[in-house]
Amino acid sequence: MSLRVFVSYRGEDASAAAELDARLRSVGVTVIRDERSAAAYAEWSTFMEEAVAAADFVVALLSPGYLRSRSCLFEARAALDREGDPFVPVLAADPDAVVSPAAWSALEREWSGRAADAADGDALPVLARIRAFLDRRRIPTLDALRAAGYAALLERLGFAEADLQAQVLRIGAVESVEQQEVLLDEHLRAHPDHALAHQLRAGVQKQRGDLLRARRSYERAIEARPDYADAHNDLALLLEHHTDEHELSARHYRAAIDADPGFDLALNNYGSFLKSRGRHDEARALFERALGVNPAYAGAHSNLGTLLAEHYGELEAAGAAFRRAIALNERYAQAHFNYAVLLEDFLADPDAAAVHFARAEALRRELGDVDLGWERPGQR
């Protein structure tokens, strides 16, 4: 099981949380966030308690809004209550707006006024604990972490090669793909067994259409780190779609899931692989596992909907899955197309279907590289 990190943040900092999520996942961390997992819980407080308890670390993106949020303070308190020092605060706003005496005085006055509400009554002790924590330690800003490739955060999370990982993350932020490859080659000459660098170079090579070299780079990443779930998943995708080595592809999907059973992307991808080979019950179980991990995964909802319609005749459930996918990502062309096929060919509702066909086609033209691929009845 990979390192598990819960990211605690206020809604206005969602873009910063998404960026942090991507960076941590790229180095093999399993990231727990509200948008990925909370919908699986009937009660928000139950999700927060169990998510914080399941995490090795809780990274809190502190901002004025965070410190004014009851739910954020609930998460912070749950982390501070745990043994092992899992609470990792990061300043996501101007430090003066978070740690200055004036900011704290304003916060304390605000929460004192709210204390008559029983639900808010324990906020002041939590604030005091957070302030004491901040007074004892030097807390980095998100901007400083970003500029340094997150080296200090990776070190705090226990990465033995935090500086090396940060170097590669900084290379990954370079806009030019050609320059990325030059920098990665230089890095790998000095550090030939650095798995993350091989993984990133494979992605660059694949983007440039050099699939043979990309395959070798994924293999080098796995040789350097046999439990590298992302590398196994990406190599499995390459093998599935660009070779006839399908059994080898399946082995790498299974290796990715074995390395990280909560890897929603690998669960969904392996489900699609099995669906295309007629192994429908196994595919359904994998899609449902992916959604159990990440209820906000639009792609898994859409894939499950297609399977439910085509092979199980569960048309109402299929429609719900497509509507959920579209609600999560209105610009998801494939989900619009799949829902349109269901409406026209299974539910005899051509007017509603026409709306979604039109939206899918508009998005396809806009995005340019969307392959709307569900075969319709009569096309097989």
Do 221 and 203 contact (CB within 8 A), yes or no?
no
What one-letter code names the amino acid at 223?
E
Q: What proportion of the chain, given as a percentage, has pLDDT over 90? A: 55
Domain assignment present for 270: no
Question: CB-based contacts of 273: which residues, under 8 Å, 6+ apart?
Answer: 236, 240, 246, 249, 250, 253
pLDDT at 1 > cutoff 50: no
pLDDT at 375 > cutoff 70: no
Domain assignment present for 194: no
Q: Which residue has the higher pLDDT, 36 or 71?
A: 71
State residue 92's pLDDT score: 92
Domain assignment present for 21: yes
pLDDT band at 371 (very low <50, low <70, confident <90, very high): low
Please tell me the distance from the alpha carbon of residue 196 to that of residue 26, in angstroms, as a whole number. 8
pTM value is 0.76
CATH code at 54? 3.40.50.10140
Contacts 24+ apart (CB under 8 A), 358-362: 359/333, 360/333, 360/334, 360/336
pLDDT at 44 > cutoff 60: no
Where do we find the tokens 């080898």?
248
Structure confidence by residue, pLDDT tens digits, 185-226 = 999 999 999 999 999 999 999 999 999 999 999 999 999 999
Tokens (6 digits) for 364: 């396809």
pLDDT band at 372 (very low <50, low <70, confident <90, very high): low
pLDDT band at 297 (very low <50, low <70, confident <90, very high): confident
Structure confidence by residue, pLDDT tens digits, 264-290 = 899 999 999 999 999 999 999 999 999
Domain assignment present for 119: yes
DSSP characters over 173-227: T-S-HHHHHHHHHHHHHH-TT-HHHHHHHHHHHHHTT-HHHHHHHHHHHHHH-TT
Domain assignment present for 288: no
Identify the bridge partners of residue 58 per DSSP, sorted by sequence position. 6, 87
Domain assignment present for 77: yes
Structure confidence by residue, pLDDT tens digits, 300-321 = 999 999 999 999 999 999 999 9
State residue 114's pLDDT score: 77
Structural domain count, the chain: 1
Question: CB-based contacts of 364: which residues, under 8 Å, 6+ apart?
Answer: 333, 370, 372
pLDDT at 379 > cutoff 50: no
Structure confidence by residue, pLDDT tens digits, 236-246 = 999 999 999 99
Domain containing residue 36: 4-156
Domain assignment present for 259: no
Helix (H), strand (E) at residue 50: helix 44-54
Q: What is the mean pLDDT of the chain?
A: 87
Domain assignment present for 127: yes
End-to-end Cα, the chain, rounded Å: 41
- Helix (H/G/I), strand (E/B), else coil: 158: coil
368 dihedral zone (left: phi>0; alpha: psi -120 to 50; beta):
left
Lowest mean pLDDT among 112-116, 151-155, 266-270: 112-116
Mean pLDDT of 131-159: 90
What one-letter code names the amino acid at 225?
R
